[in-house]
Amino acid sequence: MPELPEVETIVRDLRPVLVGCTIRKVERDKEELRRPWERKWEKLLIGQKVKGMRRRGKWIITELKSDNRLVFHMGMTGQLTVASPSEARKDHTHLILEIQPGAPSKLSRGAKELRFRDVRRFGSATLFEAEAALESFFEESGLGPEPFDLELEAWRAELSRTKRAIKAVLLDQRVVAGVGNIYADEALFHAGVHPARASDELSAAEATRIGKGIVAVLTRAIEERGSTIRDYIGGSGLRGGYQDEFLAYGKAGQPCNRCRTKMKQARVAGRASHFCPACQKDAS
DNA sequence: ACAGGATCCTGGGGGC
DNA sequence: TGCCCCCAGGATCCTG
């Protein structure tokens, strides 16, 4: 579910609350997540201070004092929030870290809980024992560049290297990290490119527009704290607002924002894809 | 190399 | 109210 803007929002929400806190207790339920949880991690976490929070693609990284890295992926329905221990725990809360603020202020006094909830359990929580181990994990999975670091010349070259549908390429985390189904459709609408077009047949201008479209759409979505369709909430529990600015995703049957042609939906790369048949022609 | 399908899960919505 | 089917912000694995 959460794509880059949602993950970025979670990190921005959690960072000021978690940095400086110490982990006092770890609680887990019996459910297995996408990646298996190891028992020894609980002992490793206790007593550790949170040094920083950052994002890489759709991954949320909690940096701990000892160089350990507690890493979350939200899958489709993951939620990572801070709550007061007195707040009732919702169903499917799989991991709870009790945290103690380092320097109690008037605003944040007393223990809190970092709660990872994931109804469908496609998400994960994993501990890497060192930053280097995390880096090699990203390396081995071939995780691509951050969209904001895209160098347009290299980007065009990358797109010309494969015959796959451009939609499939945008969803491939090895090509660019953080784009998912919503923002792929929005970026392609922005660029005026049909999702099923062969990547290697795109013109340089189209490839450039797609690259710029990704950055434009993600930037604006972050400003709006991501998109909430059904499950997503930020680290502070707030919904996103970018769903109100969608021009493509979920717009099938409605008039195109640009030309008023009826928007369409089709399955591309196994995912529902939304586009304007007039602004985004199937072949060049 | 790539498309397409199945898989991992739960829950919501529509049709009957 | 209930049942059945399809769908979902992701990612991986298998077959052809």
Asked if pLDDT for residue A105 goes beyond 90, the answer is: no
pLDDT tens digits, A230-241? 889 999 999 999
The pLDDT tens digits of the residues spanning A174-211 come to 999 999 999 999 999 999 999 999 999 999 999 999 99
CB A257 within 8 A of CB A247: yes
* Distance, CA of A188 to CA of A212 (rounded, Å): 10
pLDDT score recorded for residue A284: 53
Closest alpha carbon to C1' of C9, residue: A1
Protein-covered nucleotides on strand B (Cβ within 7 A): 1-6, 8-12
Q: Smallest CA–C1' separation from A59: which nucleotide? A: C10
**Integer distance in angstroms from CA A120 to C1' B11?**
9
Quick one: which of A137, A130, A151 has its CA closest to A56? A137
Residues A271, A204: Cα–Cα separation, whole Å: 25
Q: What is the mean pLDDT of residues A248-260?
A: 97
How high does pLDDT run on average in chain A?
96
By DSSP bridging, strand A59-64 and strand A50-56 are: antiparallel
